Structure 1
Amino acid sequence: MPLIGRLLLLATLILGFASTAHADVANAPGADLEVALITYGPGDTYWERFGHDAIEIRDTVSGEAVNFNYGVFDFDESGFLLNFARGRMHYLMDAAHSEDDEHYYVETGRSVTRQKLALNANQAAALRDFLLWNLRPENARYDYDYYVTNCSTKVRDALDKALGGVLKTQLQARRGSMTYRQQTARLMSAQPWLMLILDLGLGPYADQPLSAWQESFLPMVLQRQLASIQVSDGQGGTHPLATDEQVLSPNRLDTPPDAAPDLRLPLGLAGLAFAMLLVLLSRIAPTMHALLATLYLVLAGIVGVLLLALWLFTTHHSAWANANLLMFNPLAWLLIAAVWRARRHRSPTRLADTALMLQLFMMLAAVAMHLMHGIVQQNQPWLLFALPCWLAMAFTCRKNSRAA
């Protein structure tokens, strides 16, 4: 929708202005309102991989239908990139005519599913009133979080509020099917480099068992969960909340896998191959060994600095207390000189020797922590990658120390 048209729509909805000829969404009686959940499937671009959703409010008399969604952000906001890095992102609520809102998703090949919800007249009116209040400029902005406050959880919470807490009561009593880490890896598997970066950066928070309520941070999970919700029929019985589900536009893109990929074998093999290459090069091509070892140490130190920064200086709580810091940290930089000394068959300095012993101790501590009861961070793939790399680094440095 053009910007001017969208602004006019927002003004109309917020002010409750309507033609004298008929009512519209803003002031129709609750009995004339139909509520639906609109779910959009994942897109090709990495920021679209989690999908999206919106609440549709339709006036069955006038035919007007408006989609309310919580997925708008403003690149022009002062300090946007800095706030993004620090985990202090601000998102906005928005509204648009349903056909206009759904047009983009149809054009890009993403699925569009409409799920009609059985809210009574009072609940529908209360939901509409809350959404209009939330749409006001002073209320539209909210602090975004990938997992606990996003476009899907805001839609879920608005529906739960209108239903008097029924959603939360029923969904909290059910176990989720995956963790935050597993869902993230599953949806990002089409971009392997990004999937690996995210998996490396996620801490133990991402591995906590989830309830169905928490797992509904994903739009398609929320859609699936609503299909199983029972609500009161007003006569002492219950009936399904979702009364009808229609695929308005089928998916024409690659579908994400049903399960997260198992990274243990590929990363374990990569670590073993890298370690064997280090040992081989230390014997036949010392300069190449030094270059390759330096690359590893520089990257390990950079990763450690970034993990520390995420923990100490941002509100990305899903990255806090990351046990991968025991394997990748700035201590690695103290060993760079040692690998070049090894090229000339010279012993490492006392500082480098101490740093190497400390790194091996931390590596063993990471393995031990993972085996302890109650340690929940699922970082086996990175343990399998880092362990042979550090052992090979220690072996080549010690071998040259003995030769010297």
Structure 2
Amino acid sequence: MKQTVILLLLVVLCAFGTRAQQTDSIRISLLTCGAGNEIYSLFGHTAIRYEDPEHHIDAVFNYGMFSFNTPNFILRFTLGETDYQLGVNSYEHFAAEYAYLGRDVRQQVLNLTPQEKKRLFALLEENYRPENRVYRYNFFYDNCATRPRDIIEKAVDGSLLYSADMDVPVEGLSFRQLLHQYTESHSWARFGMDLCMGVQADRPINRREEMFVPFCLQGHFQNACIIDREGQQRPLVSEEATLVPIEGEDADGKSEGITPLQAASLLLTIVAAATFFGVRKRKTLWGLDLLLFFCAGTAGCILAFLALFSQHPAVSPNYMLFVFHPLHLFALPWMLKKVINQKKSRYMVINLAVLTLFISLWAFIPQRFNFAVLPLALCLFIRSASNLILAQKRNK
């Protein structure tokens, strides 16, 4: 039924498009949608609305269409090979969906001339052709916010002038900093992102690069101006309105439950207490080592896979691999054999040295780490040190 509605809508658009664009009653707007609770919706959403009252057309062009049912979706997303596409829906259905999800929708009507509206609509039509509508999604550089920005800039008869210098890197502004800003209430999502992102996520970015976040794009459009070929200047946005207001608590409410830092601190307390008991009683607690190093090695395999094979631009290099790396997993049998027999493990010695450097140089490594990593690193540090202490006691 939904496909039928979309098909009919497209037929109407194609039938009346050329004639409809000749009147100035047409409005084209940028829609910015509020954040949701799913990880892919934490940063909001952007779409383009096309209104032609004369021919009863009210359509939304949406560059954020994807399907979890795509074969190997998780693997392709991990590798940075996710394909999104441009979809078209009626505004009525679009607004109803976001109202149901508890996400507000704000509109910025674009101050375009009839010729610019015609050009923009033609570009959208071209983008929606079957051979053009699918594109390779990139979270930072080519997403549902950057695509509308680029096509609007292309349609303007002249150039867009933003209020700030868009190409100069801003000190303190990075991809990670922006992600933190919009994941404040979702500590586990932030923790996962911090683990996967490497040094490139902490480099200074410019104002144009921050437009991958729909809310940043909305803010820059609010203060932007169009400079036409005659040098005349006019505001890009003629009016603003909230189309789908959300009353009460936002969808992006405070997360409940234990945070990653609290969980990691609790684990550190348990590991430290168990290790103190084990050293005093001369017990190896090899089961604890098996659990900790197996988990650390598994996490390391994921991080190494991302760093080596993923096309995501900010996952490599990643200094987190000094704490979580595949060698924990591969060396586990030989390491446990030494631990069980209370013999000195060379792997534990090397791991202790690496972790000592990592913790000591924490503030100087050119990558920001989630604070929950420190207790986790200390857990591995304590277990490595306990092996050396027990081996030394056995030798005596």
Partner of 2:351: 359
Question: 1:201 aligned to 196, 205, 212, which one?
Answer: 196
Confirm whether residue 9 of structure 1 aligns to residue 9 of structure 2. yes
Question: 1:379 aligned to 361, 369, 377, which one?
Answer: 369
Confirm whether residue 182 of structure 1 aligns to residue 177 of structure 2. yes
Structure 1 window deviating more from structure 2 (375-384 vs 46-55): it is 375-384
Q: In the alignment, residue 59 of structure 1 is paired with which amino acid? A: D
- Unpaired runs of 5+ residues, structure 2, are none
- Unpaired runs of 5+ residues, structure 1, are 19-23
Distance of 1:167 and 1:70 partners within structure 2 = 24
Q: In the alignment, residue 293 of structure 2 is paired with which amino acid? A: L
Partner of 2:321: 325
Q: In the alignment, residue 103 of structure 1 is paired with which amino acid? A: A
CA contact (8 A) 1:25 1:64 kept: no
Which secondary structure state, in structure 1, belongs to the residue aligned with residue 48 of structure 2? Answer: strand
Q: CA deviation at 1:250?
A: 1.9
> Over the residues paired in the alignment, what is the CA RMSD in angstroms?
3.2
User: Cα–Cα, structure 1 residues 81 and 387, in superposed 2: closer, same or farther, change >3 Å?
Assistant: closer
Confirm whether residue 347 of structure 1 aligns to residue 343 of structure 2. yes
Q: CA deviation at 1:84?
A: 2.5
Partner of 2:64: 71
Q: In the alignment, residue 326 of structure 1 is paired with which amino acid? A: F
Q: In the alignment, residue 295 of structure 2 is paired with which amino acid? A: L
Q: CA deviation at 1:300?
A: 0.8
Distance of 2:111 and 2:270 partners within structure 1 = 58
CA contact (8 A) 2:43 2:214 kept: yes
Which secondary structure state, in structure 2, belongs to the residue aligned with residue 321 of structure 1? Answer: coil
For residues 220-299 of structure 1, the aligned pairs below 5 Å read 220-232=215-227, 236-252=231-247, 253-254=249-250, 256=252, 269=265, 272-283=268-279, 289-299=285-295
Distance of 2:216 and 2:315 partners within structure 1 = 23
Distance of 1:336 and 1:396 partners within structure 2 = 18
Question: 1:166 aligned to 160, 163, 184, which one?
Answer: 160
CA contact (8 A) 1:39 1:223 kept: yes
User: Cα–Cα, structure 1 residues 26 and 102, in superposed 2: closer, same or farther, change >3 Å?
Assistant: farther
Partner of 1:34: 27
CA contact (8 A) 1:185 1:199 kept: no
Q: CA deviation at 1:68?
A: 0.7
CA contact (8 A) 2:161 2:227 kept: no
TM-score normalised by the chain length of structure 1: 0.84
Provide, for residues 102-130 of structure 1, a one-character-per-residue CA deviation record: whole Å limited to 9, x for no partner: 21001221111111111222222111110
Confirm whether residue 398 of structure 1 aligns to residue 396 of structure 2. no
Partner of 1:101: 94
CA contact (8 A) 2:348 2:385 kept: no
Aligned residue-pair number: 386
Q: CA deviation at 1:403?
A: 1.3
Distance of 1:197 and 1:174 partners within structure 2 = 26
Distance of 2:304 and 2:20 partners within structure 1 = 52
Distance of 1:314 and 1:235 partners within structure 2 = 46
TM-score normalised by the chain length of structure 2: 0.85
User: Cα–Cα, structure 1 residues 137 and 30, in superposed 2: closer, same or farther, change >3 Å?
Assistant: farther
CA contact (8 A) 1:72 1:92 kept: yes
Q: CA deviation at 1:229?
A: 0.9
Distance of 1:106 and 1:176 partners within structure 2 = 38
User: Cα–Cα, structure 1 residues 285 and 305, in superposed 2: closer, same or farther, change >3 Å?
Assistant: farther
For residues 47-126 of structure 1, the aligned pairs below 5 Å read 47-126=40-119
Q: CA deviation at 1:317?
A: 2.7
Q: CA deviation at 1:382?
A: 5.5
Provide, for residues 94-152 of structure 1, a one-character-per-residue CA deviation record: whole Å limited to 9, x for no partner: 11222222210012211111111112222221111100100111100000011111111
Confirm whether residue 313 of structure 1 aligns to residue 309 of structure 2. yes
Q: CA deviation at 1:5?
A: 1.1
Distance of 1:26 and 1:303 partners within structure 2 = 58
CA contact (8 A) 1:268 1:381 kept: no
Structure 1 window deviating more from structure 2 (89-98 vs 115-124): it is 115-124
CA contact (8 A) 1:176 1:215 kept: no
